Amino acid sequence: MTHSKTVRTERHGDVALILVDHPPVNALAAEVRRDLLAAIGAAASAAGIVGIVLACEGKTFVAGADIREFDAPPTPPLTGDICAALDACPRPVVAAIHGTALGGGFELALACHARILAPDARVGLPETRIGLIPGAGGTQRLPRLAGAPAALDLIASGRHVAADEALSLGLVDEIATDIRAAAIFRARTLAASGQTPRVRDRAVPAFDRAAFDKAAATIRARARGALAAPAAAEAIAWAADLPFDEALAKERARSLDLRTGPQSRALRHLFHAERLAAKMPADDGHAPRTWVVRHAGVVGGGTMGSGIAIALADAGFRVTLAEANKEAAQAAEGRVNAVYDRQVKAGRLSEAARHERLDRLAYTASIEALGDADLVIEAVIEDLPAKQTVFKKLSEVVRRDCVLASNTSYLDIDAMADMVDAPERVVGLHFFSPAHVMRLVEIVRARRSAPEAVATALAVVKRLGKQPVLCGNGEGFIGNRLLMRWRQICEFAVEDGALPQEVDAAMEAYGMAMGYFAVSDLAGLDIGWAIRKRNAPTRDPRARYVPIADRLCEQGRFGQKTGAGWYRHVEGKRLPDPEVTALIEQVSAEKGIVRRPIAAEDIQHGVHAAMVNEGARVLAEGIAQRPSDIDVVLVHGYGYPAWRGGPMHAADAVGLPEMLRRVEALHAAHGVGFEPAPLLRELVASGRSFADLNL
């Protein structure tokens, strides 16, 4: 039958099997769309054909649109045109889905007359993750199958759905091991019955509209300025309120509007940035080999260490967690068990899976138990001498080819590597708390880190399902280095006239997940206090210093864990504290500062400018490889709004000449530490952007 570069049709008796073959993920590029539409038309009119099966070669079904085309006007035929052809096909069409059917790929499947799913396949409409809504009928067909509430959950979140859930929701008709055989059989069965059941002809099942509207309102509130998820909720409501064709046209127009908007461009930037950040630089033109990791050790079973151990066990590693003594090891085991117990209680983990993970975990009070480990991650207190002691002991115990990593937020990896007989196997692995939940891991290359050690760390982080970012060794690495500057702007605002809750409200209005002071209370004020005391001898006496956080710590106000920090914490609620207000006003008075109102926009611009200026310094020093890596770190580790693309992308959107003006204003207002970065000046002078450095 028909054959093209990307699509071919095979005849299986009276059934036409249309196969998309466009490696690596069968994305719906313009050529694929054209060839697929032609193949459907040919099969629909071919003599002797009673049914059609749509399937894909390679590792996956159509995994979505070709995102590389999104910066140009859409090229016909569109995915919606193919869905219309499937709708109108006089012969039953059955989708045989393996791997993932996402976005436009799942919309194709929804337009077929039946869907067969492999047991390990996943489906979903993740368009909101790149600032869009489905544009080929996804918001209209999915609620007709699964109901409006389920469609709202799936489309607004963009989450992928495993086979069992897809079947229970009615998204697919059958789960089969041999999907092509099952699909051919179903196509013949439908043909024999004379049925071509179209999803578009179904009514949306009755649902509680008040509950739906409440859920949609919650989505709008949680979006914090993002447009796509609220737009998806609106489009799903159209499915219930409007005729199919009218709602379909509105969906398409809204999708195209979002596609050309700044939020989708920012999220597409992040999509590419995440993949770029996860690549190991080639060594002399060749990717370095990785060492095999089967047994992982963790030293230190506190909050971070136990979280790292959970992440490793979840990913299938055999894990040994070593503590200083038997009591500490038992406490670590209790922390791990508590996490798994909560997951089981919440329905996120089965009892069988819980036991499977616990069987991979062992606890010990002897570091010698790590002797056969392939990777050991140190996660003890954030104190350099304490960490150096651990590394010295590990060097005496583990094999010489064991990769040694420190989970540190700020400290010098080279100083730890000095304690090891083979320093080339030492790297940093900066997890974010809670380590079993947060996606970001900064992989720190020390001065002597071997490419093989770095590549091994990268492979492990990917296996954990986390987002790696490679960075150089310098205090605070990428994220905490920028945090130090943006913290200062927030504290300056408080000293000059704002209150903590006003600063936090300004940053949350900007789109941040939480304001700085709320995050500080959550993390614990004592951590930053220890760092400031450690750095006090080298602090530039000319630099502006705000002592309010130190005064809070001196009073024992360390945040949520003590019930008081920048806020009071009562029964899980964060409340402004008059005592903090009084302390702030006292410090301002001591410095002779006349307090004044500070506009939210001034706070937002100041924080962003501080991030960008320090980001330019981090780039120039080689701590970050590219600006987009900084964006990935700030979005995934610090709650920077993804729909802005990260601070460096947002700087390009503002315009670097304007960003330089804002940085110069910061310098004029706050002095030492806020001098415009030479790289920022160079980019402005040459008319270039940060995007030009994303190699």
Strand-pair partners of 123: 101, 161
Whether 107 sits among the annotated catalytic residues: the reply is yes
Q: For residue range 449-461, what is the model confidence (pLDDT) as tens digits?
A: 999 999 999 999 9
pLDDT at 153 (0 to 100) = 97
Stretch (H or E) spanning 672: none
What mean pLDDT comes out for the span 502-523?
94
Q: Coil, helix or strand for 16?
A: strand
What mean pLDDT comes out for the span 93-97?
98
Q: How confident is the model at residue 284 (pLDDT cuts 50, 70, 90)?
A: low
**Residue 684: pLDDT above 80?**
yes
Q: How confident is the model at residue 276 (pLDDT cuts 50, 70, 90)?
A: very high
Q: How confident is the model at residue 68 (pLDDT cuts 50, 70, 90)?
A: confident
Q: For residue range 134-187, what is the model confidence (pLDDT) as tens digits?
A: 999 999 999 999 999 999 999 999 999 999 999 999 999 999 999 999 999 999
Percentage of the chain with pLDDT > 70?
99
Q: For residue range 600-624, what is the model confidence (pLDDT) as tens digits?
A: 999 999 999 999 999 999 999 999 9
**Residue 348: pLDDT above 60?**
yes
3-state helix, strand, coil in the chain (%, to 5): 55, 15, 35
Strands 161-162 and 122-124: antiparallel
pLDDT at 283 (0 to 100) = 62
Q: How confident is the model at residue 289 (pLDDT cuts 50, 70, 90)?
A: confident
114 in the Ramachandran plot: left (φ > 0), alpha (ψ -120 to 50) or beta? beta
**Residue 285: pLDDT above 70?**
no
What mean pLDDT comes out for the span 121-132?
96
- Of 107, 382, 508, 614, the catalytic one is 107
Whether 127 sits among the annotated catalytic residues: the reply is yes
Mean pLDDT across the chain: 95
Strands 174-175 and 375-378: unpaired
Amino acid identity of residue 253, one-letter, is A
Q: For residue range 25-57, what is the model confidence (pLDDT) as tens digits?
A: 999 999 999 999 999 999 999 999 999 999 999
Between the alpha carbon of residue 176 and those of residues 16, 98, 115, 497, 620, the distances in Å are 19, 10, 10, 65, 54
- Identify whether the C-beta of residue 602 lies closer than 8 Å to the C-beta of residue 610: no
Q: Which residue is listed with tokens 């010489």?
A: 400
- Of 31, 57, 69, 127, the catalytic one is 127
pLDDT at 602 (0 to 100) = 97
| CB environment 21-52: b (16+ within 10 A), e (fewer) | ebeebbbbbeebbbbbbbbbeebbebeebebb
Q: For residue range 387-409, what is the model confidence (pLDDT) as tens digits?
A: 999 999 999 999 999 999 999 99
- Identify whether the C-beta of residue 675 lies closer than 8 Å to the C-beta of residue 667: yes
Which residues, at least 6 apart from 211, have a Cβ–Cβ distance to it below 8 Å?
149
Domains of the chain: 7-260 (3.90.226.10), 295-476 (3.40.50.720), 480-693 (1.10.1040.50)
How far apart CA 54 and CA 98 sit, in angstroms, is 11
Q: How confident is the model at residue 500 (pLDDT cuts 50, 70, 90)?
A: very high
- Identify whether the C-beta of residue 71 lies closer than 8 Å to the C-beta of residue 113: no
How far apart CA 176 and CA 151 sit, in angstroms, is 24
User: What would the DSSP string read from start to end of 302-339?
Assistant: SHHHHHHHHHHHHTT-EEEEE-SSHHHHHHHHHHHHHH
Comparing 38-47, 112-121, 211-220, 535-544, which segment has the lowest mean pLDDT?
535-544
**Residue 286: pLDDT above 70?**
no
pLDDT at 82 (0 to 100) = 98
